[in-house]
Structure 1
Amino acid sequence: MDTLSGVLKSVRLEGAVFLDAEFTAPWSMRGKYGMTSVKQQLAGAEHVVLFHFLTQGACRVRLAEGGDVIEVVAGDLILFPQDDRHLMGSDLHLAPLEADSLIDAATAVAADPEFVRIRHGGGGAATRFVCGYLACSRSLCRPLLEALPRVLRIPIGDGQASTLLRELLRVGVRESSASRPGAQSTLAKLAELMFVEALRRYVETLPPEVHGWLAALRDVQIGRALALLHEAPERGWTVDDLAREVALSRSLLATRFASLVGESPMQYLMRWRLALAARALRSGGDAISRVAERSGYETEAAFSRAFKREFGLPPSAWRKAPA
């Protein structure tokens, strides 16, 4: 299994598509995931990645606080990995409408409050898009989230896999609009598939000189090393063991791993084990001593010290704290 698939399988993404929107020029909207209806569905989520997929027309996008304006056309997927407030519109100089108010108003009269339709604008050229989200554990997604820009445009309009996703998405939106049984489950899976496809395309377009976790996936040996650590974090790994598995010398593995990923293999493994421990503490009832043992610590005290350094709270307080 490739590293990206391994991480995404581990984080247990919860995806959904919740909005079918059509805006006609001129228009401008300010949004974030946190609409009332979506908050209710994500009460326990630690982190949310919001996305918009344009199915028709074009618009402009930028972060609400400023920055570069991104031109978006039909077939483009826009991701906000850090859930930043952002602007979208035909003219970003217009005073923006708040997406929260539009969506909450539409939800109040929708036949299915988990999937709503919006029609708004000045009557000019139409832009249509669907919006969705992926909820995940922030601790488990840390390597991925830190490797992505705050706003990311990914064209997924070409290729057989992308064409299939687009067609399935359109079918899912039609079924949801008609309140057909099973449509929400279909859209949830499509949101996850679209996210994976988008990330694969992004990795393929990274310049050769770029470093970071996603860039490391393209390196045959370092990508394999990451995959091994994710597949068997409970194993008593050493740098020598890992080097033998990926057919590199110990020194070369250590140097290339640190250069690409930004930390040593053993530091990465420690943080991944602690991330898994953080999820286990929130989702399960195992004793802290048992979680510590699975995380590779000989004593609960040593585990607690390491956990607090990583997350700012001791394990017992983390377990009780809200997401």
Structure 2
Amino acid sequence: MTATPPSFAKTPPTDVLADMLRAVRLTGACFLKASFTEPFGVLSPRRFDATVPMAHLRHVSVFHLITANSCMIETTNGHRQQLNTGDIALLPFVAEHKLWRGDRPNFVPASQVVARHPKEGVWSFSHGGGGTETQMICGFIESAELMASPMFRSLPELVIERAGDHMVDRGIASTIGALTAQVESLNRGAEVVLGRMMETLFVEILRRHVEQLPP
């Protein structure tokens, strides 16, 4: 972020965030369990094919939670970061990005490797060359109503919460643990519980980001 938008320049960021989140409710979410084996390369598009559930969302915020091993992520603007176990990458705005591991991976569109999971409410990604496995949970959240907020629009294209960062508080840590357990169990009604957990995680990440902004 380069400058504080004048609409909330004199208001504490946490107050603006609270007002923003009270005014809207996140609606609609899709969840994917991903299993990628090295070498792999996946291109997440700006818009998904109509055959997958993410296609119906108006404005998508995407997060990737790494649950095993690591991979690289890169945005179209060349912002590249390594993601390790426990790290969360949040892309507030629907945008093309790449996920990969290994030398010279062959990138395939995500729509080509997504499949319906046996349990309702969750889809899955499976792709790669058969080497070291990287696992992650991917969430796609409908966040169109938040686009009216100057604070939301001023977020960077990629926000990363590091598992080893002491600034990651208990709220995020406990939500990650519960979310991972829920995705693994996939009991009846899991999609409803996952939706609530994803909202909580989304809000926690935004809160952490806002708290770290300069006064």
TM-score (norm 2): 0.80
SS at structure 2 position matched to 1:54: strand
Aligned partners of 1:81, 1:92: CA distance in 2, in Å?
Answer: 28
* Residue 26 (structure 1) shift: 0.8
The answer to whether the 8 A contact 2:61-2:141 is kept is yes
**Counterpart residue number, 1:51:** 63
Of 90, 93, 96 in structure 2, the residue corresponding to residue 85 of structure 1 is: 96
Aligned partners of 2:17, 2:169: CA distance in 1, in Å?
Answer: 20
**Counterpart residue number, 2:4:** none
Aligned partners of 2:77, 2:173: CA distance in 1, in Å?
Answer: 33
Aligned partners of 2:80, 2:146: CA distance in 1, in Å?
Answer: 30
**Pair 1:12 & 2:25 matched:** yes
Deviations 1:30-84 (A, max 9, x none): 0136243224653xx3x21111111111111111x34131111112111222211
**Counterpart residue number, 1:190:** 197
SS at structure 1 position matched to 2:142: strand
The answer to whether the 8 A contact 2:121-2:190 is kept is no
The answer to whether the 8 A contact 2:172-2:205 is kept is no
SS at structure 1 position matched to 2:52: helix
Aligned partners of 2:30, 2:146: CA distance in 1, in Å?
Answer: 24
Deviations 1:284-319 (A, max 9, x none): xxxxxxxxxxxxxxxxxxxxxxxxxxxxxxxxxxxx
Change (3 A) 1:13 1:68: same
Aligned partners of 1:74, 1:38: CA distance in 2, in Å?
Answer: 26
Change (3 A) 1:101 1:58: same
* Residue 13 (structure 1) shift: 0.8
Aligned partners of 1:102, 1:122: CA distance in 2, in Å?
Answer: 13
Of 115, 134, 138 in structure 2, the residue corresponding to residue 131 of structure 1 is: 138
The answer to whether the 8 A contact 1:37-1:114 is kept is no
Of 160, 169, 188 in structure 2, the residue corresponding to residue 159 of structure 1 is: 169
Give the greater-gyration-radius structure (CA).
Answer: 1
The answer to whether the 8 A contact 1:21-1:130 is kept is yes
Of 28, 34, 37 in structure 2, the residue corresponding to residue 24 of structure 1 is: 37
SS at structure 2 position matched to 1:14: coil
Deviations 1:106-125 (A, max 9, x none): 22xx3245312333222222
Deviations 1:75-110 (A, max 9, x none): 21112222111100114742201101111xx22xx3
- Of all paired residues, the percent bearing the same amino acid is 29
Gaps of 5+ in 1: 209-218, 220-323
TM-score (norm 1): 0.55
Deviates more, 1:152-161 or 1:78-87: 152-161
* Residue 140 (structure 1) shift: 4.8
Aligned partners of 1:99, 1:140: CA distance in 2, in Å?
Answer: 25
Gaps of 5+ in 2: 1-13
**Counterpart residue number, 1:37:** 52
Change (3 A) 1:149 1:93: farther
Change (3 A) 1:17 1:5: farther
The answer to whether the 8 A contact 1:54-1:129 is kept is yes
Report the AA paired with residue 8 of structure 1. Answer: L
Aligned partners of 1:2, 1:172: CA distance in 2, in Å?
Answer: 31
The answer to whether the 8 A contact 2:39-2:103 is kept is no
The answer to whether the 8 A contact 2:120-2:191 is kept is no
Aligned partners of 2:30, 2:69: CA distance in 1, in Å?
Answer: 19
* Residue 145 (structure 1) shift: 3.0
**Counterpart residue number, 2:149:** 142
Q: Deviation above 6 Å: which 4+ runs of structure 1?
A: none
SS at structure 1 position matched to 2:43: strand
Change (3 A) 1:183 1:41: farther
Higher helix share: 1
Aligned partners of 1:195, 1:164: CA distance in 2, in Å?
Answer: 13
**Pair 1:169 & 2:179 matched:** yes
Of 71, 78, 82 in structure 2, the residue corresponding to residue 71 of structure 1 is: 82
Aligned residues: 197
**Counterpart residue number, 2:110:** 99
Deviations 1:173-197 (A, max 9, x none): 0232xxx222101100111111111
